[in-house]
Chains A and B, each alone.
Chain A
């Protein structure tokens, strides 16, 4: 599988740049950046990315609520969502996965392996929950 279009929902401008560069150097042609959950939902009108990378801690509509809304809407339900967040505790992971996310990656991430981690998650058969990433875990 080839990763072509990625929607990144991230409110920190510097982290946005790092994510974009780490995906661009691996050949992802379209990396769309938005800052909030509301923008994410708006941007999906007429745009279907291969995957959504979703931060959790964002103003107004947080990542969990954004994911919940995406999975409730028949028009966006099928788009894979992978959390990419600094919330590293077990309860946070469980909450994210229960909302229907495909995976849970934690910050700081390795920009040289982010692309491969996403591909790995996308190629796994759906079924058991997949939780990946570094960081503390309790």
Chain B
């Protein structure tokens, strides 16, 4: 009973489902969230629980024993009358006593943590970055505009030394613009405010678009870009612009780190669950000790900084893939090149159209 009191005293809601998808425990906090008593829920089905939760939660919380991920986590909105709160739903398998093995789970536990305050702070941070981005753009516009105009020769001839110095200023200004754009993107992703326009699409088309976008950069060092897709790909549901941004980021990095005349290949493949996209280069590679931090913010290696990167490209790319419920990782060997690989879940087949109207059936206006 002591354990029950402890679990009831938690600020977070808690429910445990058994292997038959029945509620074996539900704590007082979650019962209060559902306007019900904890006891009445024991033994009832996960389906019933999902129905009740659907009155409050968006997207619909539907806890199930066979959750697709070993450790699941997602944010949900919880609207109760006029009050809107945000909860983080975490779930994990409940191992059989004394087993400790994932395969021997006897249930699954779902916890609902109130993250409304964190969301409010995230929103404030995001608003601040949005305003700061605007304020930074105004002087950057004057600097970049003035330098570009002088370099065009409009204001008279410049000496070779002046030209060189102005080109440094121009390059740095362009880098500053990229940095501001990247910070804005990342803050949106981190605040969960990135709006994705999902479409059913073939990643091949997006990869080709990304290659076209990166080609001018690759041409500077005669790096060849190629798509390798042995078989047609299944359809995914994704935001085409954001997936193009992700592939473009990976391709730009691959080109930047490749020697002249090298080849960068986008390998596309699939299995029953995922479409996989690997951007493979023959570049300098990444040391094993650096692999774990490569997707972090401002974690670029010194070489990347020298090549004009902002240090946020991979963090943004990971954020974009995460937002699509995909995953991303890297395989690399120093001196042999790198493979940045991401995968996206295959879309469910489109729902069939409704039954055709029966012949002769009267239709009232």
- Whole-angstrom CA separation of A46 from B184 in the bound complex: 42
| B-side interface mostly | helix
- Contact B142–A14 (Cβ < 8 Å): yes
Q: Is A86 a contact of B146 with CB atoms below 8 Å?
A: no
Q: Check: B177 CB closer than 8 A to any chain A CB.
A: yes
Q: Residue B169 at the A interface, CB < 8 A?
A: no
- A15 adjacent to B138 (CB under 8 Å): yes
Question: Which of chain B's residues 187-241 have a Cβ closer than 8 Å to chain A?
Answer: 188, 194-195, 241
* B144 surroundings in chain A (CB, below 8 A): 108
Quick check: A108 and B184 within 8 Å, CB to CB?
A: no
| Bound-complex Cα distance A87 to B144 (A) | 17
Instruction: Verify if A27 is at the interface (C-beta below 8 Å from B).
Output: no
**With known contacts A107-B141, A134-B177, A138-B184, A87–B148 Cβ distance under 8 A:** no
Q: Could you say which of A31-39, A60-68, A109-117 contacts chain B?
A: A109-117
Query: Please, how many angstroms separate the alpha-carbon atoms of A86 and B195 in the complex?
Result: 20
Does B261 lie at the interface of the complex (its beta carbon under 8 Å from any beta carbon of A)?
no
Interface residues on B, range: 20 to 34
Could you tell me the distance between the alpha carbons of A87 and B136 in the complex, rounded to whole angstroms?
11
Interface status of B130 (Cβ within 8 A of chain A): yes
Do residues A107 and B137 form an inter-chain contact, with CB atoms below 8 A? yes
Tell me if A108 and B145 are in contact (CB < 8 A).
yes
The one of B134, B149, B182, B188 in contact with A18, judged by C-beta atoms closer than 8 angstroms, is B149
List residues of chain A with CB within 8 A of the CB of B154.
21, 25
Task: Compute how far the CA of A122 lies from the CA of B140 in the bound complex, rounded to whole angstroms.
Answer: 27
CA of A18 to CA of B150, assembled, Å: 11
Residues in chain B within 8 A of chain A (CB atoms): 130, 133-134, 137-138, 140-142, 144-146, 148-149, 152, 154, 173, 177, 180-182, 184-185, 188, 194-195, 241
